[in-house]
Amino acid sequence: MGVEAVAVANGGVEAQKKNRIQVSNTKKPLFFYVNLAKRYIQQHNEVELSALGMAITTVVTIAEILKNNGLAIEKKVSTSTVSMKDENKGRVVLKAKIEIVLGKSDKFDVLMNASNAAQETDAKNKE
């Protein structure tokens, strides 16, 4: 089913932020998004996860994984409804939308360094 955006809350097309990840529940595996979010937090000190409809559960799962592992803290959660044009039926449908902003935790750098050291040790042991 093809769906195209009809309107954005601010009345125009929103510019893509450098630290925003728009999650789809069909395109990539969960840990692709988790690892991408870690990289964005490292580069920008925060990441914004965004999803529509059925992908909302994926965004919540990503956020919980990052928070439970001590890598991120929750800064903001917002929900809304957006109008989308359903190309197959030719009518406007409402879709749920969520945006979660996660910030870098105090322990982020320590945990990432420990994780990277463990990966290097594993790689050396396999040689």
Instruction: Kindly report which listed range (13-17, 25-29, 52-56, 85-89) carries the lowest average pLDDT score.
Output: 13-17
Partnered with residue 73 across adjacent β-strands are 103
Rounded Cα–Cα distance for residues 51 and 23 (Å): 5
125 or 60, which is more confident? 60
Q: Could you report the per-residue pLDDT of 18-53, keeping only the tens digit for each?
A: 899 999 888 899 999 999 999 999 999 999 999 999
Strand order in the sheet with 72-86: 3-5, 72-86, 91-104, 46-52, 20-23
pTM for the structure as a whole: 0.78
For a pLDDT cut of 90, what percent of the chain falls above it? 62
To the nearest whole percent, how much of the chain has pLDDT over 70? Answer: 87
In the predicted structure, residue 8 carries a pLDDT above the cut 70: no
pLDDT at 115 over 70: yes
The domain made up of 3-8+16-126 has a fold known as Translation Initiation Factor IF3 (3.30.110)
